[in-house]
Amino acid sequence: MLLNENLGPADIDRLVDEKNATASRLIFTDQSIFELEQEKLFAKAWLYVGHTSEIPNEGDYVTRQMATDPVILTRGEHGKIHVLLNSCSHRGTLLCTSDVGSSRGFVCAYHGWAFGLDGSLKATADDMELYDGKVDFKTLNLKTAARVDTYAGLIFATWDEAAPDLADYLGDARWYLDLYHNRTPEGMEVLGAPHRWVVDANWKTGAVNFGADGPHAVKVHGPITAATFGMPAQTVRDSLLNSPAVSMGNGHNGILPLIPESLRDQLPDYPGYPADLIELYEQMLTPEQQAMSKHLIGGVQTMFPNFSSVQAPAIFNPEEPPVNMLAIRVWQPVSATQMEIWNWFLVEKETTDEWKQKAMQMGVRTFSVAGTFDQDDAEAWAGINIGVAGHQSRQGDMNFQMALAYRDKIIPDFPGPGAAYPSNYGEVTEFDILLEWQKYMSA
Ligand code: FES
Ligand SMILES: [Fe+2]
Does the C-beta of 126 come closer than 6 Å to ligand 1? no
3-state secondary structure the chain: CCCCCCCCHHHHHHHEECCCCEEEHHHHCCHHHHHHHHHHHHCCCCEEEEEHHHCCCCCEEEEEEECCEEEEEEECHHHCEEEEECCCCCCCCCCCCCCEEECCEEECCCCCCEEECCCCEEECCCCHHHHCCCCCHHHHCCCECCEEEEECCEEEEECCCCCCCHHHHHCCHHHHHHHHHCCCCCCEEECCCCEEEEECCCHHHHHHHCCCCCHHHHCCCHHHHHHHHCCCHHHHHHHHHCCCEEEEECCEEEECCECCHHHCCCCCCCCCCCHHHHHHHHHHCCHHHHHHHCCECCEEEEECCCEEEEEEEECCCCCCCCEEEEEEEEEEEEECCEEEEEEEEEEECCCCHHHHHHHHHHHHHHCCCCCHHHHHHHHHHHHHHHHCCCCCHHHCEEECCHHHHHCCCCCCCCCCCCEEECCCCCCHHHHHHHHHHHHHHHC
Query: Of the residues 89, 90, 124, which should be mutated to test ligand 1's pocket, given the most ligand atoms within 8 Å of the CB?
Result: 90
Query: Of the residues 110, 122, 143, which should be mutated to test ligand 1's pocket, given the most ligand atoms within 8 Å of the CB?
Result: 110
Phi, psi of 39 (to 5 degrees): -80, -45
Nearest ligand 1 atom to alpha carbon 89: 2
* Per-residue model confidence (pLDDT) at position 2: 43
Q: Please give the Cα distance from 106 to 141 (Å, whole number).
A: 12
Which amino acid, 352?
Answer: T
> Each residue of 345-394: pLDDT tens digit?
999 999 999 999 999 999 999 999 989 999 999 999 999 999 998 999 98
343, 83 contact by CB (below 8 A): no
User: Facing residues of 260 across strands?
Assistant: none
* Per-residue model confidence (pLDDT) at position 5: 57
Distances (CA, A) of 185 to 206, 323, 348: 31, 21, 9
Q: Domain coordinates of the chain in residue numbers?
A: 47-162, 175-442
User: Per residue of the chain (443 residues), what is the pLDDT tens digit?
Assistant: 345 555 677 788 889 999 999 999 999 999 999 999 999 999 999 999 999 999 999 999 999 999 999 999 999 999 999 999 999 999 999 999 999 999 999 999 999 999 999 999 999 988 888 999 999 999 999 999 999 999 999 999 999 999 999 999 999 999 999 999 999 999 999 999 999 999 999 999 999 999 999 999 989 998 888 888 888 888 889 999 999 999 999 999 999 999 988 888 888 899 999 999 999 999 999 999 999 999 998 999 999 999 999 999 999 888 889 999 999 999 999 999 999 999 999 999 999 999 999 999 999 999 999 899 999 999 999 999 999 989 999 889 999 999 999 999 999 999 999 999 999 999 999 999 999 999 999 99
Does the C-beta of 104 come closer than 6 Å to ligand 1? no
254, 245 contact by CB (below 8 A): yes
Q: Using the mean position of ligand 1's atoms as its centre, give its distance from the Cα of residue 34 in Å.
A: 30
Ligand nearest to the CA of 217: 2
Does the C-beta of 121 come closer than 6 Å to ligand 1? no
* Per-residue model confidence (pLDDT) at position 6: 59
> Each residue of 113-126: pLDDT tens digit?
999 999 999 999 88
Which candidate, 156, 170, 205, places its Cα nearest to that of 52?
A: 156
Provide the residues around ligand 2 (an ion) whose CB is within 5 A: 377
Q: Please give the Cα distance from 150 to 132 (Å, whole number).
A: 42
Burial class (CB in 10 A: 0-12, 13-18, 19+), 174: middle
* Per-residue model confidence (pLDDT) at position 260: 87
Nearest ligand 1 atom to alpha carbon 111: 3
Which candidate, 398, 422, 4, 404, places its Cα nearest to that of 201?
A: 398
Does the C-beta of 110 come closer than 6 Å to ligand 1? yes
Length of the chain: 443
16, 27 contact by CB (below 8 A): yes
User: Facing residues of 328 across strands?
Assistant: 309, 344
* Per-residue model confidence (pLDDT) at position 88: 98
The fold of 175-442 is Naphthalene 1,2-dioxygenase Alpha Subunit; Chain A, domain 1 (3.90.380)
Which superfamily, per CATH, for 47-162? Rieske [2Fe-2S] iron-sulphur domain (2.102.10.10)
Q: Please give the Cα distance from 92 to 251 (Å, whole number).
A: 34
Nearest ligand 1 atom to alpha carbon 124: 3
Ligand nearest to the CA of 95: 1
Q: Whose CA is nearest to atom 1 of ligand 1?
A: 91
Q: Please give the Cα distance from 307 to 329 (Å, whole number).
A: 6
* Per-residue model confidence (pLDDT) at position 125: 80
Q: Using the mean position of ligand 2's atoms as its centre, give its distance from the Cα of residue 357 in Å.
A: 24
Query: Of the residues 84, 94, 108, 124, which should be mutated to test ligand 1's pocket, given the most ligand atoms within 8 Å of the CB?
Result: 108
